[in-house]
């Protein structure tokens, strides 16, 4: 309950935070993505200015607020302090999914776009559905696109507003009060969209009614690239595993807003991801030498930063831990 209350407070306070000028906003994260590699991007450091909040820094560098907080647990959300070093978690393991169209990894709160015929990937942070309004999983596609969309809220959402003493119109026209923002991509899943937002500082939180929100500048970029018919795959991968050369990495994301004991993925999740990333393995396990101590440390930390945990298989080292140790 405390965690939900804290997140609700962020949403209310976000409106009071100044929005950076468009010139200050970072460009899309776009990286080369050759078929044999799974790790893209790089982790960098930003030195805070006096006027910065962590929310401002997140948007300036194309990050969501939760991933920024996971990477910087000791940094104050509202007053990082001039001279504070802030880690920018802009290195990612690509999700284990077809590299075609859009791939949305729900627990990571990040969307990946693979342009047809190109060995690159674009990636942006997103917001997802809160507890009780979970973003669905599965395969679908973009069925239509709209500029300045009109929102027709379902009765369930209008009833929720009434319960807290607010009246929501049956039709919300385009404009600053429209939560869909300036652009929307409608999915084959009824009532679910990828859209902009009139609350940009909510990006990287579990705050929607199941839709996928993007920063206003990011939805415009995606809208211009992704055509109707583009495939969309929604997955839940709290642990991702992949290769950079001969090094094996994992990346762990907690399940935000669930009880602490269930928030972090398990060793079983990590083993499954590592095996999936090493299909050349056999019945004896993955074709890699894995340091299971590092795996458990990454699971305990769950900060979304890729961590090296192994290498290509050589004669198996007897000094390595086993996953059950």
- 131-179: pLDDT as tens digits: 888 999 999 999 999 999 999 988 888 888 888 888 888 999 999 989 9
User: What residues pair up with 31 in beta bridges, in sequence order?
Assistant: 121
CATH of the domain at 140: 2.40.440.10
Q: Of residues 195, 201, 209, 253, which has the active-site annotation?
A: 195
User: What residues pair up with 213 in beta bridges, in sequence order?
Assistant: 127, 195
Alpha-carbon gap, residue 254 to 76, rounded angstroms: 20
- Tell me if 215 is assigned to some domain: yes
Mean pLDDT value across residues 276-294: 76
Are residues 110 and 212 both part of a single domain?
Answer: yes
- Domain span at 73: 43-89
Q: Are 206 and 61 in contact (CB under 8 A)?
A: no
In 3D space, the residue among 242, 30, 33 whose CA is nearest the CA of residue 124 turns out to be 30
Q: Which of 235, 263, 296 is the last residue of a domain?
A: 235
Q: Which of 202, 235, 268 is the last residue of a domain?
A: 235
Residue 11 designated active-site = no
- Tell me if 245 is assigned to some domain: yes
Q: Of residues 122, 201, 209, 211, which has the active-site annotation?
A: 211
Q: Look at the chain and report how many structural domains it folds into.
A: 3
Are residues 243 and 231 both part of a single domain?
Answer: no
- Tell me if 6 is assigned to some domain: no
Q: Which of 235, 254, 284 is the last residue of a domain?
A: 235
Are residues 230 and 252 both part of a single domain?
Answer: no
Per-residue confidence band for 251, with pLDDT thresholds at 50, 70 and 90? very high
- Tell me if 290 is assigned to some domain: yes
User: What residues pair up with 193 in beta bridges, in sequence order?
Assistant: 186
Residue 195 designated active-site = yes
Are residues 160 and 203 both part of a single domain?
Answer: yes
Strand order of the β-sheet with 239-244 is 239-244, 247-252, 307-312, 288-290
The pLDDT score that the predictor gives to residue 310 is 95
- Tell me if 7 is assigned to some domain: no
Task: With a cut of 50, say whether residue 119 has pLDDT above it.
Answer: yes
Are residues 230 and 243 both part of a single domain?
Answer: no
- Tell me if 243 is assigned to some domain: yes
* pLDDT, tens digit, 9 for 90 and up, residues 73-90: 999 999 999 999 999 999
Are residues 218 and 243 both part of a single domain?
Answer: no
Alpha-carbon gap, residue 178 to 198, rounded angstroms: 7
Are residues 182 and 158 both part of a single domain?
Answer: yes
Highest-pLDDT range among 175-189, 266-280, 307-321: 175-189
Are residues 59 and 179 both part of a single domain?
Answer: no
Are residues 207 and 105 both part of a single domain?
Answer: yes
Are residues 295 and 190 both part of a single domain?
Answer: no
Per-residue confidence band for 36, with pLDDT thresholds at 50, 70 and 90? confident
* 57 three-state secondary structure: helix
- Tell me if 174 is assigned to some domain: yes
- pTM value is 0.86
The pLDDT score that the predictor gives to residue 163 is 87
Alpha-carbon gap, residue 188 to 77, rounded angstroms: 37
Mean pLDDT value across residues 50-72: 95
Angle at 201 between CA 130 and CA 252, to 5 degrees: 55
The DSSP secondary-structure symbol of 154 reads: -
Are residues 216 and 184 both part of a single domain?
Answer: yes
Half-sphere exposure of 182 (CA within 13 A, CB side): 11
* 23 three-state secondary structure: helix
Alpha-carbon gap, residue 193 to 190, rounded angstroms: 9
- Tell me if 22 is assigned to some domain: no
């Amino acid at each position: 309950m405390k965690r939900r209350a804290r997140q609700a407070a962020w949403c209310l306070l976000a409106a009071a935070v100044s929005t950076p000028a468009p010139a200050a906003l970072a460009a899309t994260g776009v990286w080369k993505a050759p078929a044999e590699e799974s790790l893209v991007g790089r982790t960098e450091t930003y030195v805070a200015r006096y006027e910065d909040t962590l929310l401002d820094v997140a948007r300036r560098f194309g990050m969501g607020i939760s991933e920024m907080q996971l990477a910087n647990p000791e940094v104050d959300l509202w007053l990082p302090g001039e001279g504070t070093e802030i880690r920018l978690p802009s290195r990612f393991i690509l999700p284990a999914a077809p590299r075609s169209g859009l791939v949305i990894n729900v627990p990571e709160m990040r969307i990946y776009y693979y342009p047809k015929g190109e060995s690159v990937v674009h990636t942006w942070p997103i917001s997802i559905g809160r507890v009780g309004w979970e973003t669905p999983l599965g395969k679908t596609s973009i069925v239509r696109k709209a500029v300045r969309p009109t929102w027709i809220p379902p009765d369930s959402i209008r009833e929720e507003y009434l319960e807290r003493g607010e009246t929501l119109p049956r039709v919300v026209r385009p404009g600053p009060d429209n939560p869909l923002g300036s652009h929307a991509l409608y999915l084959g899943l009824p009532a679910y969209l990828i859209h902009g937002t009139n609350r940009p500082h909510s990006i990287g939180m579990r705050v929607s009614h199941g839709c996928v929100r993007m920063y206003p500048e990011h939805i415009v970029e995606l809208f211009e690239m992704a055509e109707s018919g583009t495939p969309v795959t929604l997955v839940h991968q709290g642990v991702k595993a992949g290769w950079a050369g001969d090094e094996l990495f994992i990346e762990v994301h907690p399940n935000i807003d669930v009880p602490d004991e269930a928030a972090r993925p398990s060793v079983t999740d990590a083993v499954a991801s590592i095996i999936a990333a090493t299909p050349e393995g056999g019945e004896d396990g993955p074709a890699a030498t894995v340091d299971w101590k590092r795996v458990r440390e990454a699971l305990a930390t769950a900060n979304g930063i890729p961590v090296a945990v192994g290498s290509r298989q050589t004669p198996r080292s007897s000094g390595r831990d086993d996953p059950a140790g």
